[in-house]
Amino acid sequence: MSEFAITIDSLEKSFPRAHSGWRAFLQPFASPSLPALRGISLQVRPGEALALLGTNGAGKSTLLRILATLLLPTRGTAVVAGFDSAREPAAVRRHLGYHAGSDLGFYARLTGGENLRFFGRLNHLSDSFLRTRIPALAEQFELGSALDRQVRTLSSGTIQRLSLLRALLHRPKVLLLDEPTRSLDALAAADFRRFLKEEVLEQEGTSLLFASHTLSEIELLANRVAILKEGNLVALDTPAALRSRSRASSLEEAFSRLTGHSARSLEEPAAS
Amino acid sequence: MIRVLRDFLLFFQRDLRIASTYRGPFVLELVEALFGAAMFYYVARFVDSPQLREALPQGTTYFAYSLVGFVFFDYLHAALDSFDRTLEEARDTGTLEPLLVTQVSLPVILVGSATYPFAVTTLRIAVYLGWGSALFGFPLRSANWLSVLVVLVATLLSFSGLGIFSSAYLLLFKRGNPSKWFFLGISSVVGGMLFPVSILPPWLQVVAHLNPVTYALEAMRAALLQGASLSAIAKPLLILFVFALGLLPTSILTFSWALQRTKITGTLSHR
């Protein structure tokens, strides 16, 4: 791995304006004109946890999706484990675990175990490795019974935990999580955070970049916090340094002072 | 190459497992195939005449001719449908993005996901012909099975290109593909499904000869109904492979370009 697990340099991303009526037919060919990321630069060190904090539309998911090779940047570069996400997407995906924060993404008629084996095999993991890895992770996630049940019968929170388990199956060097505890109840969320901190960050040394609206989660997990506002990186530092820089007593207050948004705006439902 | 084949097998096993959770449709398809074969048999009896027999290849009954045309058309339908239906399902169930962050490329995902529908269509064709042979005298014994197999492969390759084009359209425009329906419509008239191309007006015959369906049906009828050897059907086979050679690479390039566009516009998972 290179010096940094993730290197983002002058990253810009714009989307085309949405058209309706007959002009929607030309949408696939429209030139990108709406900026979502405006020249972001940051690095994540190996084993570090960096949180992305911002209101909806700040560019957190766009940034994660570029790193996950699901979007192409308009300008600039995003390098994961030494590989450029735009030019070497297959190499990037070898080192990457990605959880989009959704409870979709599984075959409803297959069991949890069948789904995990299928995705594990697509990551070229052997059957014998999966036979031990899946039950071991399932035990940590308390997903034992979900492995034998069809996904359509599982609760939203259980499916989300399955999705997190899937992201960790191939022991990725870099883990990208988009609001990882969004659908989990308070107890499951706390367990998951503990698992992330103790098992993934401290034991396996995985680098973590995650977007979250939950400030307590960020305080617990993140070594540093990147605050985004309308596609700009307005601050990047440790939670303590952010608090002292903005003379705030909490991360919530620091966020408000640095962005001009109230911390309550973090909890507003997604606009898009 | 072996890894790609293994990946294809994974998709096939996935779809087989999903299909095995629905037991009813398989039995219904068997029954449907029986009714379908019976319908063609009685229509053929109704329209049979010396003039009709004269227009068909020697020794071929209209029942055998139309049944091959009908079931084989199913293949075209599967080719055009399988790829974009796979993509649409993955997008709508939210599995597209998890698939795309694995180490398997989208073309492999697409082709792998089409293996099961193709296998099912092949099986359905076999069931139709089986009913036709067992109950209505379809001349299955005269088939040259090696030729049948080669025609199937050639057809699969050339029709798949059309299916991949269709998926590229779906990636870009999100909804059903008008060119697919146009192609199916054209092929049902000029492809030689239920009547020989030779009865069409000359200008439509020109259109027919630009269509791979015409050659696929010509070769398949010769192999199945007349036991034609590979050398006897070399011409339509060669044309089918030429179609495949032209369509497959251009469709994959078009699809890759469409995928890049959706990664630029951020519409990969949009409906």
Instruction: Select from A119, A122, A171 the residue whose CB has the most chain B CBs within 10 Å, as the one to mutate to test that interface.
Output: A122
Instruction: Spell out the alpha helix ranges (H) of A68-212.
Output: 89-94, 112-122, 127-140, 156-168, 186-195
pLDDT of res. A265 = 66
pLDDT of res. A264 = 66
Q: Taking CB atoms and an 8 Å limit, are A110 and B98 in contact across chains?
A: no
Instruction: Select from B264, B267, B269, B270 the residue whose CB has the most chain A CBs within 10 Å, as the one to mutate to test that interface.
Output: B264
Residue A141 falls inside a structural domain: no
What long-range pairs does A135-143 form, CB within 8 A, spacing at least 24? A137/A165, A137/A168, A137/A169, A138/A112, A138/A165, A140/A195, A140/A199, A141/A165, A141/A192, A141/A195, A142/A188, A142/A191, A143/A112
Nearest CA-CA partner of B165 in B35, B259, B255: B255
pLDDT of res. A81 = 92
- Rounded to a whole number of angstroms, the distance from the CA of B142 to the nearest CA of chain A is 42
Q: Could you tell me the CATH number of the domain that includes residue A4?
A: 3.40.50.300
Residue B246 falls inside a structural domain: yes
pLDDT of res. A117 = 96
Residues of A in contact with B98 (CB under 8 A): 100, 105-106, 119, 163, 166
Option in B3, B14, B263 nearest A118 (CB): B14
pLDDT of res. B179 = 67
Q: In whole angstroms, what separates CA B129 from the centre of its chain?
A: 16
Q: Which residue has the higher pLDDT, B110 or A43?
A: A43
Residue A137 falls inside a structural domain: no
- Rounded to a whole number of angstroms, the distance from the CA of A156 to the nearest CA of chain B is 14
pLDDT of res. A79 = 96
CA distance A234 to A12: 15
Residue of B nearest to A16 (CA): B265
Helix, strand, coil shares of chain A as percentages rounded to 5? 40, 25, 35
Residue A49 falls inside a structural domain: yes
Q: In whole angstroms, what separates CA B97 from the centre of its chain?
A: 28
**For residue A269, pLDDT beyond 50:** no
Residues of B in contact with A121 (CB under 8 A): 10
- Asked if the interface predicted TM-score (ipTM) of this complex is over 0.90, the answer is no
**For residue A272, pLDDT beyond 60:** no
Compute the average pLDDT of residues A58-85: 94
Query: Based on the number of CB atoms within 10 Å of its own CB, is B205 exposed (0-12), middle (13-18) or buried (19 or more)?
Result: middle
pLDDT of res. A267 = 60
Q: Which SS3 state, helix, strand or coil, does residue A204 take?
A: coil
**For residue A2, pLDDT beyond 70:** no
Alpha carbon of A28 to those of A14, A15, A76, B155, B165: distances in Å?
A: 14, 11, 22, 31, 16
How many separate domains does chain A show? 1
pLDDT of res. B146 = 95
Residue with tokens 């399955």: A162
Amino acid at A44: V
Q: pLDDT tens-digit profile of A121-165? A: 999 999 999 999 999 989 888 887 889 999 999 988 888 889 989
CA distance A59 to A11: 11
**For residue A27, pLDDT beyond 80:** no
How confident is the prediction along chain B (271 residues), in pLDDT tens digits per residue? 788 889 999 999 999 999 888 877 777 877 887 888 888 888 888 888 888 887 787 778 888 888 888 888 888 888 788 888 888 888 888 898 999 999 998 888 888 988 998 888 888 888 888 888 888 888 888 889 999 999 989 988 888 888 888 888 888 887 767 767 777 888 888 888 888 888 889 999 998 888 888 999 999 999 999 899 999 999 999 999 999 999 989 998 999 899 999 999 888 777 7
Which residues constitute the domain of residue A249?
A: 1-9+35-95+196-272
Residues of B in contact with A122 (CB under 8 A): 7, 10, 99, 102-104
Which residues of chain A approach chain B closer than 8 Å at the C-beta? 15-16, 25, 27-30, 32, 62, 65, 68-72, 74, 90, 93-94, 96, 98, 100, 102, 104-110, 114, 118-119, 121-124, 150, 163, 166
Which residues constitute the domain of residue B198?
A: 2-265
Q: A49: which strand partners?
A: A208
Contact B233/B147 with Cβ under 8 angstroms?
A: yes
Joined tokens for residue B263: 């990664």
How many beta carbons lie within 10 A of that of residue A155, not counting itself?
A: 12
Joined tokens for residue B1: 């190459």
Angle in degrees, 0-180, between the axes of helices B106-136 and B62-93, rounded to the nearest 10: 150
Residue B271 falls inside a structural domain: no
Average pLDDT, chain A: 88
Confidence band for A270, pLDDT divided at 50, 70 and 90: very low
End-to-end CA distance of chain A: 35
Q: Which SS3 state, helix, strand or coil, does residue B200 take?
A: coil
Residue with tokens 């590989």: A83
Residues of A in contact with B105 (CB under 8 A): 90
Q: Taking CB atoms and an 8 Å limit, are B10 and A121 in contact across chains?
A: yes
Q: Taking CB atoms and an 8 Å limit, are A104 and B14 in contact across chains?
A: no
Q: Taking CB atoms and an 8 Å limit, are A90 and B105 in contact across chains?
A: yes
CA distance A101 to A156: 11
Contact A57/A13 with Cβ under 8 angstroms?
A: no
Confidence band for A266, pLDDT divided at 50, 70 and 90: low
How many separate domains does chain B show? 1
Joined tokens for residue A33: 């004109």
**For residue A225, pLDDT beyond 70:** yes
Residue A184 falls inside a structural domain: no
CA dihedral B53, B57, B58, B59 (to 10 degrees): -70
Residue B36 falls inside a structural domain: yes
Say what the pTM is: 0.86
Residue B95 falls inside a structural domain: yes
